[in-house]
Amino acid sequence: MTDDPSRRKVLQNTGLSVGAALLSGVPGGHPAAQAAPRGDDPSPVVTLPAGQLRGAVEEGLTVFKGVPYAAPPVGALRWRPAQPHPGWSGTREATAFGPSAPQLYREGGDAVLGTHGSPPFDEDCLTLNVWTPRADNAKRPVMVWIHGGGFISGSGSLPIYSGETFARDGDLVVVTINYRLGPLGYLYFGEDGASGNFWLTDQLAALRWVRDNIAAFGGNPDDITVAGQSGGALSVAALAGARPKGRPLFRRAILQSPPLGLQIPTPAESLQRSATFLEILGVKDVAQLRTLPWQQLMGATVEMFKRTGRWGYWATPYLPVLDGVTLDRHPSDLLLDGPGADIDVLIGWTREEANFAFALNETYTAATKDQVLPRVRDTFGNRATEAYSAYEEARPGARPVDVLMDLISDDLFRMPALALAERRAARKRPVWAYQFDLPTPAHNGQLAAAHCLELPFVFDNFDKWSHAPFLTGLNPRVRDGLTATMHAAWISFVRTGDPNHHAMPSWQRYERDSRTTMSLDTVTAATGDLAGYWRRLHQSTAS
């Protein structure tokens, strides 16, 4: 078998040296590092239909924090779709973040990402935050960021997701949101005409708020990009199916490591999972659940991991549901026709996604070939032995856990993302693809180019990531060069629908005849059919 170029480090003769990457411009004549002038008012006030908001000026940007976009989902509204916020009288202070959605929390976090959500937590969490160069009439492009976290963690107020860098460097208006997580966002009970996906109703409410209010913050409601990573990227795809009255909710989408390989449960399957949750807590129905404090609900998540987990699969105790009301198809299908067909899409993955969850887990690092083969058989059926050998040969010195991790990366992230790019290209719909290839030396290189590793490069904010062990040891020169390239590409896409800028090689759309995929590494280079061997291997099994 030939060596797989997407799984080895090769410095190519073509492409951009990291030292040449500069944040000095983007297509369309918009300077990438020049924000609008700072406003003179240190306490800017905007007037919205819900009432007045007072923000603050922080390092030259106008910032509004903890802005409610929906009614608090508490009491009788727990496990109900998001409801309109009633508004307020007088001027509401918007200078402090609102509480994060309730979630599990461990001081110090884990050995990969560190922490991903910090107190305070509260069910009254449906707020958003806005960064803008100035609350004026400039009609700037808008970027809405949806955090990931396996459907159980994260917050729009985390410093790592601050909109500061994008607002300043791209002259953009940036919005980050909180939404319900874990059991409060993802349990399904078949109430209210079988509606579910309360997390999705939150996000839709936030997008409608942005569409209706962002002009007051200097943004253009007709020029919105929704971006997200991991579970947040799956959210972006799910939102593409929204059929709003009037203008679309957004025109561009950035999907970073979307887990499109997840099988979304049916209502019956989701009800069974909810029954497991009820059993753990010893209650008989959702009415009793509504009487319990959220802390008790979060505590049941530990047992949910144990009861719903499967060996060789990424643990997801809570999942969306195909309820037929808020979600009637797999999210990836929603970017192919209907409202989602006309959305510009930028999609990508990291080369070793699954190393994030498995590379440091002793249960998996000690796995044998006999343990891994049944998991390979789940994907490849009677071709499991052949597929195992293919994955083994692609990594010199591969252990069984390496085969497993590469298979999970392909099953959950890379192959379904490629399939979406293939299907959009076949329909002549715009899509750009990338693979993040730069490995981290942390943990003796065991994590490689793991899930989440591209985030600080995209946001250009390594100073906010001091808590994250998986960034230890990165070469500053390599890090900063690739960061400049990626950050400017994301800004360009938000501004123009095209990620190209002058300080990187030409990034062509993903087309069926070329399959251009940008390899983001020490040398950034456009590669034709980067994962072609693996795509054909998986396609032959599917057929």
| pLDDT tens digits for range 249-259 | 999 999 999 99
The strand pair at 91-93 and 51-54 is best described as parallel
Across the beta sheet with 45-48, what order do the strands follow? 45-48, 51-54, 91-93
Domain limits, the chain: 5-107+128-243+255-542
Q: What is the pLDDT of residue 542?
A: 58
Structure tokens at 467: 């808590």
Tell me which DSSP letter residue 420 carries. Answer: H
Collapsing DSSP to helix, strand or coil, 343 comes out as coil
Of these residues, 195, 230, 257, 332, which one is catalytic?
230
Q: What is the pLDDT of residue 543?
A: 52
Measured CA to CA, the distance from residue 217 to residue 59 in angstroms comes to 17
- Provide the mean pLDDT of the chain: 91
- Is residue 31 over pLDDT 50? no
Structure tokens at 6: 């997407």
Q: Is 17 annotated in the active site?
A: no
Return the closest-CA partner of residue 163 out of 239, 212, 97, 256: 97
- Is residue 6 over pLDDT 70? no
Structure tokens at 4: 């797989």
- Is residue 239 over pLDDT 50? yes
Tell me which DSSP letter residue 471 carries. Answer: G
What is the H or E stretch that residue 16 is in? strand 16-17
Measured CA to CA, the distance from residue 233 to residue 191 in angstroms comes to 27
Report the pLDDT averaged over residues 330-356.
Answer: 96
pLDDT digits (tens, 9 = 90+) for 408-465: 999 999 999 999 999 999 999 999 999 999 999 999 999 999 999 999 999 999 999 9
Q: What is the pLDDT of residue 396?
A: 87
Measured CA to CA, the distance from residue 226 to residue 487 in angstroms comes to 16
Q: What is the pLDDT of residue 541?
A: 66
Could you tell me if 256 and 348 are in contact, meaning their C-beta atoms sit under 8 angstroms apart? Answer: yes
Structure tokens at 71: 């009614």
- pLDDT band for 244, please (50, 70, 90 cuts): confident
Measured CA to CA, the distance from residue 137 to residue 39 in angstroms comes to 13
Cα-to-chain-centroid distance, residue 532: 25
Of these residues, 85, 116, 443, 451, which one is catalytic?
451
Q: What is the pLDDT of residue 24?
A: 38
Cα-to-chain-centroid distance, residue 115: 16
Tell me which DSSP letter residue 338 carries. Answer: G
Q: Is 230 annotated in the active site?
A: yes
- Is residue 113 over pLDDT 80? yes
Could you tell me if 250 and 343 are in contact, meaning their C-beta atoms sit under 8 angstroms apart? Answer: yes
Q: What is the pLDDT of residue 41?
A: 72
Measured CA to CA, the distance from residue 192 to residue 200 in angstroms comes to 15
pLDDT digits (tens, 9 = 90+) for 145-193: 999 999 999 999 999 999 999 999 999 999 999 999 999 999 999 976 6
Q: Is 353 annotated in the active site?
A: yes
Could you tell me if 472 and 149 are in contact, meaning their C-beta atoms sit under 8 angstroms apart? Answer: no
Residue 84, number of CB atoms within 10 A of its CB = 12
- Is residue 27 over pLDDT 60? no
Of these residues, 353, 392, 422, 454, which one is catalytic?
353
Residue 497: phi and psi, rounded to 5, are 80, 15
- 5-107+128-243+255-542 is classed CATH 3.40.50.1820: yes
C-alpha dist (Å) from residue 354 to 230, 413, 508, 525: 12, 9, 28, 24
- Answer whether 0.85 is exceeded by the pTM: yes
Return the closest-CA partner of residue 263 out of 310, 302, 298: 310
Tell me which DSSP letter residue 481 carries. Answer: H
Residues forming beta bridges with residue 62, ordered by sequence position: 57, 132
One-letter identity of residue 226: V
The strand pair at 140-146 and 431-436 is best described as unpaired
